[in-house]
């Protein structure tokens, strides 16, 4: 005794399988996007909060700072040297730098809804003055993937941001090994934000073709079995 699969059953079953497969196909588009334009970054985010560090004094601070950017709290650490931070006051603005030039500055402990991180990242010298022509290495992690970015020739007025499809867990910056040059990785005007709700992504043509091919095959099988019943 054969099982009589009706066309509607076959189609619904194929649709259910497609519904399960499509999220995995969409996940291929997930990741961390790098923005070098502040306006483009702001289009992709909402509820931005900024930490300008202007409340810090130009004196040695501990290696772990609890900070806030608007309504968001976060944590900054310097390591592995453990020398702490020594903010630079230059031309009326306060920048955040580590005491030791080789230490990495790490931003972490973001809230669960923080999908975006940005700011100004550049190099300073031992006196806290901007040091042109240097490179800063940045890394952003969202718990799923890590994106690395080498920022060449950054200015205090420049901007770099990361926007992820998953909540960010950590962002770090450090200098690179430039023989004979000692400089400090520096941050200013840190921005934390939530992701701007976007429309559902449109499936790629190949995915749509595969879905309809599957539905058509299921319908043909159903008609064939009904004739044999």
Exposure b/e, 177-208, CB count within 10 A at least 16 = b:
eeeeeebbbbbbbbbbbbbeeeeeeeeeeebe
Quick one: pLDDT at residue 192? 98
Quick one: pLDDT at residue 67? 97
In DSSP terms, 162 is beta-bridged to 34, 117
CATH (residue range 28-195): 2.60.120
Quick one: pLDDT at residue 177? 72
Quick one: pLDDT at residue 81? 92
Quick one: pLDDT at residue 19? 41
On the question of a cis peptide bond just before residue 80, with omega within 30 degrees of 0, the verdict is: yes
- What is the Cα–Cα distance from 228 to 3, expressed in whole angstroms? 10
- What is the Cα–Cα distance from 202 to 13, expressed in whole angstroms? 22
DSSP 101: T
Helix axes 7-26, 205-228, angle to 10 degrees: 160
pTM of the model: 0.74
Q: What is the pLDDT along the chain (229 residues), one digit of tens a residue?
A: 443 444 444 434 444 444 433 333 333 345 999 999 999 999 999 999 999 999 999 999 999 999 999 999 999 999 999 899 999 998 889 999 999 999 999 999 998 899 999 999 999 999 999 999 999 999 999 989 999 999 998 899 999 999 999 999 999 999 997 666 799 999 999 999 999 985 444 555 554 455 455 545 544 444 444 554 5
């Amino acid at each position: 005794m054969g099982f009589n699969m009706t066309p509607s059953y076959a189609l619904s079953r194929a649709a259910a399988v497609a519904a399960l497969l499509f999220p995995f196909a969409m996940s291929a588009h997930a990741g961390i996007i790098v923005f070098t334009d502040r306006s483009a970054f702001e289009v992709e985010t909402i509820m931005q909060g900024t930490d300008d560090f202007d409340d810090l004094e130009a004196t040695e601070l501990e290696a772990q700072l609890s900070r806030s950017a608007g309504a968001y709290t976060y944590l900054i650490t310097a390591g592995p040297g453990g020398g702490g931070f020594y903010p630079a006051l230059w031309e009326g603005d306060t920048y955040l730098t580590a005491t030791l030039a080789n230490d990495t500055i790490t931003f972490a402990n973001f809230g669960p809804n923080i999908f975006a991180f940005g700011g100004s990242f550049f190099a300073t010298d031992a006196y806290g003055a901007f040091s042109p022509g240097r490179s800063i290495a940045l890394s952003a992690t969202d718990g799923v993937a890590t994106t690395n970015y080498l920022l060449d020739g950054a200015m205090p007025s420049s901007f770099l941001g990361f926007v992820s499809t998953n909540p960010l867990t950590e962002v770090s910056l450090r200098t690179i090994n430039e023989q004979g040059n000692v400089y400090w990785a520096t941050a200013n005007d840190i921005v934390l934000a939530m992701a701007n709700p976007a429309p559902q992504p449109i499936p790629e043509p190949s995915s749509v073709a595969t879905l309809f091919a599957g539905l058509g095959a299921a319908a043909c099988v159903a008609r064939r079995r009904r004739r044999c019943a």
